[in-house]
Amino acid sequence: MAKDKKFTPDWFEGQLPEHSLRALFKWHDPDAFKHPNRGFYTLIRDTFGMADADFTKPDLCLDQAPDQLPIQLDQQHIQRFIDLCGEENVFTDAYQRIRASYGAGMIDALRLREGIIENITDLVLAPRDTDDIEHIIAYCDQHRIPVTVFGGGSTVTRGYEAPLGGICLDMSVHMVRVLDFDEVNQTITVQPGIYGPALEDALNHAPERFGAADRYTCGHFPQSFEHSSVGGWVVTRGAGQNSTYYGKIEDLVISQEYVTPIGVFRTQDHPRAATGPDFDQIMIGSEGCFGVLTAVTLRVFKHRPSNTRRFSYLFRSWDEAVHAYREIMQADFGFPSVFRLSDPEETDTAMRIYHIHDTIADKLLRALGYQPMQRCLLLGTVDGDRDFTRLVTRKIHRVCTGKSGLPLTPFGVTQRWEHTRFTDPYMREDLNDFSIVIDTLECAVTWEQLPKVHPHVRAFVKQRPRTICMTHISHAYPQGANLYFIFIIPYTGINDYLTLQYGILDAIQSSGAAMSHHHGIGKQTAPWLEDQIGKNWMDLIRLLKQHFDPHNIMNPGGTLGLDLDQEQSAKRWGFTK
């Protein structure tokens, strides 16, 4: 085992060549980097039986992306779109088209690294307003031209590929405006292409921007926050790291507007009603298959970051920690905001990454009964009114210390997590450069299911030698939670990677969990959807699809399980390469 403490892999931090493959798959900001630290690096090197020498020849994929890709779309259609939106808003170049057809999932990066360029839209359009979108959708419906929608490009479920070609609406160019801010109703209405930071900036500066009396927040902070769009949050039923307090996006949406092939659909602003089915809850989660989201009104909350309190505890065992966690969610004193419980492997990994492993502190913890591969880390924050955050923090402390919870709050564990909450994915490229895959899958469970799903998925993953599998509960409810799996494996080919992913999805499904809590279904999980919800409900989704989009132009090609091809249905989609 290599022991050269001085060795550091040559992590890439160079300029991205314009139009390179790497520019396409790099996590979001081209100028931002975060590298595995010494602890993380040695963990991976040692777990995978690798040597420092294995980390000297990175595969950076700095080659150019193809600069020509065939366009199936008739020139007359292209001209029509130019007439509709203006030449400056129509893009035919290969790079833009690839960018608008790939997401931020591991499979997207792997395909690009392998030179697999597939399912590319023919044309990228940047509609200027809802009128443009109405005209485009009407035209596409008339001429049977497939339509996908690009927001932040952060899908990890193959959410908007274009296997049938057609056009892609890039909402991130013009459809980014704040349409209304209403302080009395505590709502903001935005176009769907606006990203998290722009939304929060507007809300945080509500006094300056809108003459408001207070500052506000939407409370929605997915890990992709910096590079994901509100529209993406809505159509995938997303969540944020603070959703245990603020609610998932379906709890935040007050009303919406969709342009569909059969017309414009608007819902109303009443916070609740008893006037038949809830239409918002039909459209949220429709993943671009029913129509194009063109406006959304969201709940907002007073922004008072100085009220936020932080906490962290170490528990002796997963069972005890889960018990305390559930007790807090069922105690009726209010919910924390971030509320994250790591399982033993994730906890130990964190201790290695943060250089606590094998220190005096670690020895002390072991002496106190907090053993490696048993102990579990809980961390979180509490938002809201100042007295409320004080109360909830105090009550959480009482529950945790009433079990085996050792208070770590003074050591700033949560602050450290907050510091990297949006940046950890930047490490993916570094690992990939040395043929190591890191990926995540998540699922929703009831409390009864949790003790079954967790070991079941772990057992499957751990069948493979040399595999890291970390799990945490990232969001919770009085009736259940989200289980979030992170797995790290040596890369042994794209089809082998897919085999593992399919196996994990099978393991999630067979243990009774819902196939996603907040990533959505996309094309990746689509083959599992019908088995989870049942044929009757799947038929209902098909009915809704047929109604809103009779000619199947909206995000066609398998999303939400609607028009899976044979290979997808058999859950054996892969590459013959």
Q: Is 563 helix (H, G, I), strand (E, B) or coil?
A: coil
Any idea which residue has 């314009």 for tokens? Answer: 18
Residues 178-207 that bind a second copy (CB under 8 A): 182, 184-187
| Closest approach of a second copy to the CB of residue 391, in Å | 5
Residues 312-351 that bind a second copy (CB under 8 A): 326, 330-334
- What are the tokens at 525? 């999980």
| Closest approach of a second copy to the CB of residue 351, in Å | 30
Beta bridge partners of 105: none
Residue 513 near a second copy by CB under 8 A: yes
Of 379, 330, 337, the C-alpha closest to 244 is 337
Q: How many beta carbons lie within 10 A of that of residue 550, not counting itself? A: 12
Interface mask toward a second copy for 280-309; x: CB under 8 A: -xxxxxxx-----------x-xx-x-----
Binding piece for a second copy, criterion CB under 8 A, among 89-97, 309-317, 426-434, 470-478: 470-478
Residues 59-98 that bind a second copy (CB under 8 A): none
Q: Which helix (H) or strand (E) holds 567?
A: helix 566-569
Q: From the list 33, 139, 354, 388, which residue makes contact with a second copy (rule: CB under 8 A)?
A: 388
Compare residues 68 and 275 and give the one whose CB is closer to a second copy.
275
Of 462, 484, 215, the C-alpha closest to 340 is 484
CB 32 within 8 A of CB 423: yes
Q: From the list 215, 395, 462, 551, which residue makes contact with a second copy (rule: CB under 8 A)?
A: 395
End-to-end Cα, the chain, rounded Å? 35
Instruction: Give CA–CA dist 347/21, Å, rounded.
Output: 35
Compare residues 9 and 105 and give the one whose CB is closer to a second copy.
105
Beta bridge partners of 486: 440, 470
Compare residues 368 and 543 and give the one whose CB is closer to a second copy.
543
CB 285 within 8 A of CB 237: yes
| Closest approach of a second copy to the CB of residue 405, in Å | 18
CB 532 within 8 A of CB 521: no
Q: From the list 213, 274, 360, 367, which residue makes contact with a second copy (rule: CB under 8 A)?
A: 274
Q: From the list 51, 69, 391, 406, which residue makes contact with a second copy (rule: CB under 8 A)?
A: 391
Compare residues 193 and 238 and give the one whose CB is closer to a second copy.
238
Binding piece for a second copy, criterion CB under 8 A, among 22-30, 104-112, 409-417, 479-487: 479-487
Residue 5 near a second copy by CB under 8 A: no
Q: How many beta carbons lie within 10 A of that of residue 129, not counting itself? A: 13
Instruction: Give CA–CA dist 366/364, Å, rounded.
Output: 5
Residue 401 near a second copy by CB under 8 A: no
CB 233 within 8 A of CB 250: no
Residue 272 near a second copy by CB under 8 A: yes
Compare residues 199 and 235 and give the one whose CB is closer to a second copy.
235
For residue 471, give the amino acid letter. Answer: T
Q: How many beta carbons lie within 10 A of that of residue 274, not counting itself? A: 4
Size of the site for a second copy (CB under 8 A): 88
Residue 529 near a second copy by CB under 8 A: yes
Residue 439 near a second copy by CB under 8 A: no
Residue 114, judged by CB atoms within 10 A of its CB (0-12, 13-18, 19+), counts as middle
CB 33 within 8 A of CB 13: yes
User: CB under 8 Å to 409, separation ≥6 — which residues?
Assistant: 310, 311, 312, 313
Q: From the list 113, 158, 237, 428, which residue makes contact with a second copy (rule: CB under 8 A)?
A: 237
| Closest approach of a second copy to the CB of residue 442, in Å | 9
Compare residues 58 and 455 and give the one whose CB is closer to a second copy.
455
Q: List strand residue ranges (DSSP E) for 187-251, in order.
A: 187-190, 216-217
User: CB under 8 Å to 372, separation ≥6 — which residues?
Assistant: 344, 348, 351, 357, 366
Instruction: Give CA–CA dist 110/437, Å, rounded.
Output: 9
Q: How many beta carbons lie within 10 A of that of residue 416, not counting itself? A: 14
| Closest approach of a second copy to the CB of residue 185, in Å | 5
CB 421 within 8 A of CB 241: yes
| Closest approach of a second copy to the CB of residue 229, in Å | 16
Of 496, 421, 485, the C-alpha closest to 459 is 485
At 200, phi and psi to the nearest 5? -65, -35
Residue 248 near a second copy by CB under 8 A: yes
Compare residues 172 and 286 and give the one whose CB is closer to a second copy.
286
| Closest approach of a second copy to the CB of residue 414, in Å | 20
Residue 211 near a second copy by CB under 8 A: no
Compare residues 109 and 541 and give the one whose CB is closer to a second copy.
541
| Closest approach of a second copy to the CB of residue 309, in Å | 13
- What are the tokens at 228? 């994901």
Binding piece for a second copy, criterion CB under 8 A, among 44-52, 98-106, 474-482, 503-511: 474-482
Binding piece for a second copy, criterion CB under 8 A, among 12-20, 204-212, 428-436, 535-543: 535-543
| Closest approach of a second copy to the CB of residue 401, in Å | 16
Residues 543-562 that bind a second copy (CB under 8 A): 543-544, 547, 560
CB 157 within 8 A of CB 104: no
Residue 479 near a second copy by CB under 8 A: yes
Q: From the list 375, 458, 517, 523, which residue makes contact with a second copy (rule: CB under 8 A)?
A: 517
| Closest approach of a second copy to the CB of residue 350, in Å | 26
| Closest approach of a second copy to the CB of residue 558, in Å | 13
| Closest approach of a second copy to the CB of residue 33, in Å | 30
| Closest approach of a second copy to the CB of residue 240, in Å | 13
Residue 51 near a second copy by CB under 8 A: no
| Closest approach of a second copy to the CB of residue 125, in Å | 25
Instruction: Give CA–CA dist 335/331, Å, rounded.
Output: 9
Residue 212 near a second copy by CB under 8 A: no
Q: From the list 101, 189, 342, 516, which residue makes contact with a second copy (rule: CB under 8 A)?
A: 516
Residue 39, judged by CB atoms within 10 A of its CB (0-12, 13-18, 19+), counts as middle
